Amino acid sequence: MPDALIIAIEQDALLQCERLLLDAGEAATEMLEAAGEQTSRESRARAASLSAALERKAASAVNTARIEAAGRLLSVRSEMAEEVLKRVEQGFKDLPRERYSALLNRFYSELKADWFEAHEPSAHLVLINPADMGLVKDTEAEFKADDGVSLGVVFVSKDGRLRYENTVSSRIWKGRDALLPMVDGILTGKA
């Protein structure tokens, strides 16, 4: 009987080993599945995070490019508008002498009226470009040639404190805030 008991114990031990091996195999399978699921979740979360970060970077790059392009476009449009204003000024320089003389006399009359409204009539000098000397006639005014004056006239108090200017460039400068959007509108077809 002892052999039968030993055989029974060995068979029971083998059965228990087989159950332990099956249980261990099932536990290992469950652990592998759980680890695979966790890895898959972590992988999806990481991919979503990277995708969101990539979308933010792409949106930032697109916005930066749009801002730079808008800035360059605005700069080019501003340069074009400036060029138009320069050509307007050049147009006045290219006027026939008699038309230019009439324009210069009109500028002088307007400036004289403004000056005389605010100041004593005799307390000023009239600055005019040397090439324009003699185009404006006023026997009561004291004219002085000045290379710094172009396409117009300037009244200056004798003490040099006051200066009134009526030139093409001063008129363009005064109207610049209104002129540039108009020129830009014409250039872009949105006038």
Both 62 and 102 in one domain: the answer is no
Q: For position 106, what pLDDT does the model report?
A: 92
113 and 26 share a domain?
no
- Which of 68, 94, 120 lies at the terminal end of a domain, its last residue? 94
Tell me which residue has tokens 């059965």. 15
Please count the residues of the chain.
191
Band (pLDDT 50/70/90 cuts) for residue 1 is low
Torsion of CA 51, 53, 55, 56, to 10 degrees: 170
Judgement on whether residues 111 and 137 belong to the same structural domain of the protein: yes
Enumerate the H helices of the chain as residue ranges: 2-93, 97-118, 168-188
State the pLDDT at residue 121: 61
**Mean pLDDT for all residues in the chain:** 83
Residues 15 and 30 in one domain: yes
User: 119-153 pLDDT, tens per residue?
Assistant: 666 677 888 999 888 888 888 888 888 898 888 89
Give residue 174's pLDDT band: very low, low, confident or very high (50, 70, 90). Answer: confident
Which residue segment(s) compose the domain that 161 sits in? 97-188
Q: Helix or strand or coil: residue 144?
A: strand
Q: What is the CATH number of the domain that holds 126?
A: 3.30.2320.30
pTM of the model: 0.55
One domain, residues 25 and 43 = yes
pLDDT of residue 2: 67
> To which residue do tokens 């204003």 refer?
85
pLDDT in tens, 89-126: 788 788 888 998 898 899 888 888 887 776 666 677 88
Candidates 160, 121, 166, 162; CA nearest to 142 is 121
* Domain end position, chosen among 77, 94, 111: 94
Long-range CB contact pairs, 36-45, < 8 A, 24+: none
pLDDT tens-place string over residues 67-97: 888 788 778 777 877 787 788 878 878 888 8
Residues 77 and 125 in one domain: no
pLDDT tens track for 34-49: 888 888 888 888 888 8
Cβ within 8 Å of residue 115, ≥6 positions away: 121, 124, 155, 164
Whether residues 112 and 75 fall in one domain:
no
Per mean pLDDT, which of 105-109, 158-162, 173-177 is the most reliable?
Answer: 105-109
Gyration radius of the chain's alpha carbons: 46
In the chain, how many domains are there?
2
115 and 155 Cβ atoms separated by less than 8 Å: yes
Q: Domain boundary at 54, 79, 94, which?
A: 94
